[in-house]
Amino acid sequence: MDNLLEIRKLNKSIGSLQLLDINLSLEPGYIMGLIGRNGAGKTSLIKTILRLYQKDSGDIYVNGYNMETEEKEAKNEIGFVLDESLFEDNLSIEANGRLFGSLYSRYDHSLYLQFCERFGLLPKQKAGKLSKGQKNRFQLAFALSHDAKLFLMDEPAAGLDPLFRRELLGYMQDIVESGKRSILFSTHLTNDLDQIGDYIILLDEGSICLELDKEELGDRFYIASGTREQIEHTFGPNVICRLYEPYKSSLLIEFPKDGQLKGLAVTRPSLEDLMYYLSKGGFIK
Ligand SMILES: Nc1ncnc2c1ncn2[C@@H]1O[C@H](COP(=O)(O)OP(=O)(O)OP(=O)(O)O)[C@@H](O)[C@H]1O
């Protein structure tokens, strides 16, 4: 089966940012999280996939359709939740559904109204008057109503109240459950990704610097803590970085060998821990 998203050798300069040689593929049925520091290029990548920014080079395929030469077919497969609204602010939620739904071959207006009701949205309300969290719900309701296969979401949980945020994570899992749809979403909320992400892409200054299968996280990386001397004397090319902090000395290691961490306290890093160590170790800026 085709990947729902396939990006090959994508390059794009935007201001001082350069998205550099981005290669990505996402099969149906999975959630991929895009993480990275402020300004790493997460939003720019999502906008470039959507052709809101024109790429400089490379190819993007959505459910097998070329985003450049088969744009209409490719966009038909994409649902999005973005920070900026691409809808008509002066029109009601209902009218926006009718207007933009006409652009999608599988749009179902009654399903859209059901999702609006489920998400607590009043169909008569003007789109431009929605709060940040309501805008995300509105976009999600629309994306769910045109049978999108690839969901692109830029920080969808930002600005959501804790209750809806938890619900959103459930909806995201529902989206991929059938094994026919996938989600690529950017986030700073690594706890959310710890919960629902299958794959993780770490962007740094416009480049992918780490690709992780979440299952792999626990087996691949470990944090080992001990005295400064113990940490200094733990050697090997798989030691990624050592941190000497006032309250503890520790190291991040990849695929440790038997006995290599003898005498040290070993834990498995969360995503946040991993980003912290990679950043402190100078692997990400
Ligand atoms: N429209 C634009 N015009 C000029 N430069 C831009 C534009 N969009 C993005 N950039 C450049 O790209 C950089 C990365 O921005 P982007 O929004 O993609 O980062 P991000 O990883 O999503 O950050 P954050 O986590 O803060 O949302 C910006 O710092 C800026 O230099």
| CA distance linking residue 166 with residue 170, whole number of Å | 7
**In a shared domain, residues 110 and 235:** no
Q: What does the pLDDT read at residue 170?
A: 93
User: 44 C-alpha vs ligand 1 centroid, how far in Å?
Assistant: 6
Give me the chain's average pLDDT, please: 93
User: 39 C-alpha vs ligand 1 centroid, how far in Å?
Assistant: 5
For a pLDDT cut of 70, what percent of the chain falls above it? 99
Q: What does the pLDDT read at residue 149?
A: 97
Q: Whose CA is nearest to atom 3 of ligand 1?
A: 15
| CA distance linking residue 44 with residue 64, whole number of Å | 22
**In a shared domain, residues 210 and 223:** no
User: 18 C-alpha vs ligand 1 centroid, how far in Å?
Assistant: 10
- Ligand 1 pocket: which of 19, 20, 43, 154 to mutate (most atoms <8 Å of CB)? 43
Reply yes or no on whether the pLDDT at 68 is more than 90. Answer: yes
> ipTM score of the complex?
0.96
CATH code for the domain in which residue 89 is found:
3.40.50.300
User: 48 C-alpha vs ligand 1 centroid, how far in Å?
Assistant: 12
| CA distance linking residue 160 with residue 167, whole number of Å | 10
Residue 92: CB partners within 8 Å, gap ≥ 6? 123, 124, 125, 126, 127
Residue numbers of the domain that contains 61: 5-215
Total structural domains in the chain? 2
Cβ < 6 Å from ligand 1: which residues? 14-17, 36, 38-44
Q: Is residue 13 part of a domain?
A: yes
Q: Is residue 285 part of a domain?
A: no
Contact 125, 55 (CB under 8 A): no
Q: What does the pLDDT read at residue 6?
A: 97
Reply yes or no on whether the pLDDT at 285 is more than 90. Answer: no
Domain boundary among 160, 190, 215: 215
**What would the mean pLDDT of 3-11 be, rounded to a whole number?**
97
**In a shared domain, residues 72 and 163:** yes
Reported as a pLDDT band with limits 50, 70 and 90, residue 284 is confident
Residue 274: CB partners within 8 Å, gap ≥ 6? 217, 221, 252
**Which atom of ligand 1 lies at the shortest distance from residue 188's CA?**
25
**In a shared domain, residues 182 and 61:** yes
